[in-house]
Structure 1
Amino acid sequence: MVQYKIGFPYVGDRFGGSNMSSLIMATALRDRGHDVTVFTHGPGRAHDEAAARGLKTELLPALSDIGGYERPDRARPEQLAAFPHCWRSIKRHGLDIIHTNDMTMLRTWALPSLASGSKLIAHWRTSSKASASIAGSLLPAKKIISVSGYSKAILPGWLQKKTTVEFNALETFWSAEQRAQAKKAVRERLNLPADAALVGVFGNLTRRKRAHVLADILHALPEPVAGRPVYGLACGGPVEPLDTEFDLKRQAYGLMDRLIAPGFVRPVYEWMAACDVILAPAEREPLARNILEAMALGVPVVASTDGGLVEVLRDGENGFLLAPRETDRWIEIVRRLLNDVELAERIAVAGQRTAETLSVANHARRIEDIYRAAIS
């Protein structure tokens, strides 16, 4: 097997599910013998997560003094100004491939990869249309990898011709015993009743993710359901543009105790496995890694039809698919899952079987095939 030298660049202080997906991919490629280096523009969680995985890391100067989440994601002068640092890093490590995973890094590394002769692979993980600067940056890319057909369809036709759809990989699968341990541990940590039902959302508390739907559900559900008190869990930090309805409804509905918002949590898999149901009511969602992770852990899921998950979920079989703004339906399905243990178990088992097809090993082999096609 040909082994490649691969660079994965990130904004140091900006991190989300897409970044985690790419680090899982980078780790799998490293484990298959490739020489992987993670570059972060400035310190932050991206650097820390890569280091925690034992990946080789290199710190580059931050793109700006302005925090990552406070900078608009558009073409900015500092992306061009980073050219010398990027070019020197490519040359110093003799990189065969630069694999970008967000639009900022695509804009920043497209020209250095072209000038150095390194092959550019661009992962397309967004629901945003390709602006002129993005389309121009995708022009030199040898291959584009889209996380769903939904995301691929957003690209212009001439870019779709070199785009392959590859769902995100999953690395953590839990047994019923592990889930039972997580349920006990998290409820004790939160001082909740041992039999409490827990409905979760995981991800940044930004407007598009619509975490406030969880407040609507808790407000509408009777207390208790099937003899169990019902609590909500919203794990993630505030990111602009904020979902301002989340805090407003949490207060207006008197849910400050029932709807728990602990911010970013670790280990996230334990918190996810502790839930009875996990929701993703987002709009324009390329794929929603949190739902795939929940399926792998064996937790029933309910997701929005506005996005790439319609390519993975079969409504009523391995999860539920609902229009994001049909709140009454979200309330109804959550109530059904909490009331019907057999239904919840059937959905969870089918979901975990689906998730098994997205294993890290299979994903890494398919990425290698894309690399070979790009370099040949």
Structure 2
Amino acid sequence: MTYSAAVDLRQSETPSIGGGDQAVVCFPFIGDLVGGSHMSSLGLIQNLPRSRFVPLVVLHQTDGPVADLFRREGIDFVAAPVLNRLERAAPRNGAAVVNVMRTLPALVPFLRANNASIVHTNDGRTHLIWGLAARVAGSKHLWHHRGDATSFGLRRVAPWLPNRLVAVSKFASPRPGLFSAAGKCSVVHSPFDVMKMDGFERVEARENVLAAIGCSPDTKLLGYVGTLVDRKRPILFVEAVAALKRLSPETKVAGLFFGNALNGLDDAARSRAEALGIADCIHFMGFRYPGEPWIAGLDALLVTAVNEPLGRTLVEAMLLATPVIAADSGGNPEVVEDGKTGMLVRADDPDEFAKACLVLFSNAALRKHIVETARKEVRARFSFERHVQAITSVYEELMGVTGIRRSASSGP
């Protein structure tokens, strides 16, 4: 039995799902913004072995961008039995605790009625809202950490709330200590359809990008792909484009932002571009789905983020033979080997990004070596198969502790 977005559990009796020896894995999402966690979760949900696991996808916001994404991909979901009242980056005060406690009377019976063996959360708000509910309901809680190791939740909540923790990189993993989740953490890289990228013709993709922004064929296309948040340094991206123009005035260049903005950072980036005299070189493309045809059309992807656990677009660019220039920060060095699979530069230094671009543009042999080596290595490391195998091993370990809570139709 499956569900569509039309099902509203707040208006009807909560049904049960699953059958046979399948274990129900609940994937809750807020639904108000699409990010890398949703793309990675989508790949996992689509590739879970249905003979062993039944995904129960739950959205607090069934008319938002995450719902649109899941509909396009044919992922069935249900509405959460309670509205989310926890704001993004919620303050560490009593109000956040009160909001979490308010959800328990609805979420606990929901999990029990659906016989959820595991609750797999993927962002800060669902860690808190659903993690406590899982504990009370008797479900196992897997906290999938995609932030950095200094986050408050990882340091203060993860040591006691989840049963297990998975981090997307070594950088994102908790540090050992007297009060730490390090002992129950595994590193599992995000999943990618590594062979899907073969279907994109880069010449055609580049022509399409040029046509979309109205630039001449000799324009170098630099991309920023991801949500515009401070950690990802969108302002630095603008400054890198300006530095390239200053260091090489004869080079025609366009900087393209692909992604939605938070906290007015798109306006801040526009203002910075105007102040630097390159407003005509910066293009705000918004969130584009699928993103592969756009990434394939770039001459280089600039990963300006600092303390980024492990960005998806970095790996996607490598699979698409788009060269990557990344800040030597966070989880980037776990993927990019300087001069071999990409280029690493000093973080927060726009001139270093610009100089790397000029080296890349002037050395065809280096560029060819980088993209070929990068594609080969990430294909071996980031496949769906490896990710699903690693995550389902964690699932089975969790269920083996006290046994599997079978679906309602499987009997005692």
Q: 2:223 aligns with which of 200, 208, 215?
A: 200
Q: 1:87 aligns with which of 90, 108, 126?
A: 108
Q: Does 1:111 align with 2:132?
A: yes
Q: Which structure 1 residue ranges, 4+ long, deviate > 4 Å from structure 2? A: 30-33, 68-74, 154-157, 222-228
| Counterpart residue identity of residue 91, structure 1 | R
Q: Does 1:169 align with 2:188?
A: no
Cα gap change, 1:215 to 1:334, in 2 (>3 Å)? same
Cα gap change, 1:201 to 1:120, in 2 (>3 Å)? same
Per-residue deviation at 1:342? Answer: 2.2
- Contact 2:258/2:285 (8 A) holds in 1: yes
Cα gap change, 1:206 to 1:136, in 2 (>3 Å)? closer
- Contact 1:12/1:62 (8 A) holds in 2: no
- Contact 2:200/2:293 (8 A) holds in 1: no
Q: 2:170 aligns with which of 149, 174, 177?
A: 149
Per-residue deviation at 1:132? Answer: 6.8
| Counterpart residue identity of residue 374, structure 1 | L
Per-residue deviation at 1:199? Answer: 0.6
Partner SS state of residue 121, structure 1:
strand
Structure 2 equivalent of residue 57 of structure 1: 77
Structure 1 equivalent of residue 408 of structure 2: none
Cα gap change, 1:155 to 1:270, in 2 (>3 Å)? farther
Instruction: Name which structure has the greater RCO, CA cutoff 8 Å, separation 6+.
Output: 2
- Contact 2:124/2:153 (8 A) holds in 1: no
Q: Does 1:186 align with 2:205?
A: no
Q: Does 1:289 align with 2:312?
A: yes
Map 1:177-326 onto structure 2 (within 5 A).
178-222=201-245, 229-240=252-263, 242=265, 246-326=269-349
Structure 2 equivalent of residue 47 of structure 1: 67
| Counterpart residue identity of residue 292, structure 1 | V
Structure 1 equivalent of residue 56 of structure 2: 37
Structure 2 equivalent of residue 9 of structure 1: 28
What percentage of residue pairs aligned between the two structures are identical? 25
Residue by residue over 1:140-184, the C-alpha shift from the partner in whole angstroms, topping out at 9 and shown as x without a partner, is 422100011111145756310110001111125423862222112
- Contact 1:130/1:154 (8 A) holds in 2: no
- Contact 1:6/1:37 (8 A) holds in 2: yes
Q: Please, which moves more after superposition, 133-142 or 207-216? A: 133-142
- Which whole-Å CA distance do the structure 2 matches of 1:235 and 1:83 have between them? 37
Tell which structure's C-alpha radius of gyration is larger. Answer: 2
- Which whole-Å CA distance do the structure 2 matches of 1:242 and 1:72 have between them? 21
- Which whole-Å CA distance do the structure 1 matches of 2:217 and 2:52 have between them? 45
| Counterpart residue identity of residue 94, structure 1 | N
| Gap runs ≥5 in structure 1 | none
Cα gap change, 1:154 to 1:211, in 2 (>3 Å)? farther
Per-residue deviation at 1:290? Answer: 1.3
| Counterpart residue identity of residue 5, structure 1 | V
Q: 2:37 aligns with which of 18, 23, 29?
A: 18
- Which whole-Å CA distance do the structure 2 matches of 1:70 and 1:164 have between them? 25
CA RMSD of aligned residues (A): 2.7
Partner SS state of residue 223, structure 2:
strand
- Contact 2:326/2:343 (8 A) holds in 1: yes
Q: Does 1:366 align with 2:404?
A: no
Partner SS state of residue 358, structure 2:
helix
Partner SS state of residue 123, structure 1:
strand
